[in-house]
Amino acid sequence: MEEKIVKTSHFAACIDNRDYKVSLEVGKLYRVIPDEEAASHGYIRVVDESGEDYGYTAARFFPLEIPQALADALRIAGG
């Protein structure tokens, strides 16, 4: 049985936390909140270390394709 892959718009790994060392951890997986307006300006909205969602430059993140079961588990774990 082949696992279904989720589009990258739901999770991304932080690859640059310069100037945001308290809010972002390099290498950590963050839940992405879809925001077309932010994306049109080169930003990505993620739930950061504060537990709130904020917009950051998209270049700080690497979007990921993950199995559906992992996406579901991360959503449950994240509340």
What pLDDT is attached to residue 72? 81
Higher-scoring residue by pLDDT: 9, 13: 13
How many Cβ atoms sit within 10 Å of the Cβ of residue 25?
15
Residue 21: per-residue pLDDT: 96
Q: Which of 68, 60, 20, 29 is CA-nearest to residue 44? A: 60
pLDDT in tens, 19-70: 999 999 999 999 899 899 999 999 999 999 999 999 999 999 999 878 888 8
pLDDT bucket at 79, cuts 50 / 70 / 90: low
- CA 71 – CA 54 distance, rounded (Å): 20
Q: What is the pTM of this model?
A: 0.77
